[in-house]
């Protein structure tokens, strides 16, 4: 059962994905939607613009971190050791 697999830390990610796929296919079968296969559910479409926006956001965050680092050096403020702590 998919719900139980979410709370079982010993299961691998792939097993959870398979159980989720089985659940969705079972739901489709109940509503008489037989056009969908497991392979269809595993295909992912990400629009190029969405991907580009994500990359730009990461670059923007990196630049902000660099600017804050330069500013803290100018003001003699000790920097944090890891930027993920921010």
Residue 50 has a pLDDT of 84
Task: For 24-39, write each residue's pLDDT tens digit.
Answer: 999 999 999 888 888 8
The reply to whether 40 and 53 lie within a common domain is: no
Residue 81 has a pLDDT of 61
Residue 67 has a pLDDT of 93
Q: Name the token pair of 57.
A: 């956001």
Compute the distance between CA of residue 30 and CA of residue 43 in angstroms, rounded to an integer: 22
pTM attached to this predicted model: 0.46
The reply to whether 63 and 78 lie within a common domain is: yes
Residue 84 has a pLDDT of 57
Residue 11 has a pLDDT of 74
The reply to whether 53 and 78 lie within a common domain is: yes
The reply to whether 73 and 36 lie within a common domain is: no
What domain range includes position 53? 45-86
**In this structure, are residues 65 and 83 in contact, taking their beta carbons and an 8 Å threshold?**
yes
Could you give the number of structural domains in the chain?
2
Question: Which residues of the chain fall short of a pLDDT of 70?
Answer: 78-86
Q: Name the token pair of 23.
A: 């659940």
Helix residue ranges, H only, the chain: 2-6, 13-30, 38-42, 48-74
Nearest by Cα to 16 from 33, 29, 32, 3: 3
The reply to whether 50 and 81 lie within a common domain is: yes
């Amino acid at each position: 059962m998919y719900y139980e697999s979410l709370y079982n830390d010993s299961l691998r990610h792939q097993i959870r994905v398979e159980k989720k796929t089985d659940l969705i296919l079972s739901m489709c079968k109940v509503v008489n939607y037989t056009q969908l296969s497991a392979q269809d559910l595993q295909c992912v479409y990400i629009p190029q613009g969405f991907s580009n926006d994500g990359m730009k956001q990461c670059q923007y965050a990196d630049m902000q971190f660099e600017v804050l680092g330069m500013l803290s050096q100018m003001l003699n403020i000790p920097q944090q050791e890891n930027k993920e702590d921010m």
